[in-house]
Amino acid sequence: MSQVCAICGKCKVVGGSITRRGMPKKKGGIGTHVVKNVARVFSPNIQRVKVMHQGTVKHLNVCTACIRSGAITKA
């Protein structure tokens, strides 16, 4: 299944997960240091729903933000 919303076009986004170690300076330490920087993918919450689209019933891949906002009408 494609990870793209049919309404708003929301899709997967590449980002990073930074792991830090050490005590922060404001808590009395010498500061935090980066230990690892790992690439990761942020996936949207895509659901396959029945939608009334131009007078016909269709199955569309829609993100939950569009479902909650009322951008579609469920069939």
pLDDT in tens, 19-40: 999 999 999 999 999 999 999 9
In a domain, 40, yes or no: yes
Residue 4 inside a domain? The answer is no
* Predicted model pTM: 0.71
Helices (H), the chain: 64-69
Return the SS3 of 42.
strand
The SS3 call for residue 46 is strand
- The overall average pLDDT reported for the chain is 94
The answer as to whether 1 is a domain residue is no
Q: Using an 8 Å Cβ cutoff, are 74 and 51 in contact? A: yes
* 19 three-state secondary structure: strand
Whether residue 24 is contained in a domain is answered as yes
Longest dimension (CA), the chain: 65
Report whether pLDDT(1) > 70: no
Closest CA to 65 of 42, 41, 43, 45: 45
In a domain, 27, yes or no: yes
Q: How many domains does the chain have?
A: 1
Mean pLDDT on 5-29: 96
State which residues form the domain around 37. Answer: 13-69
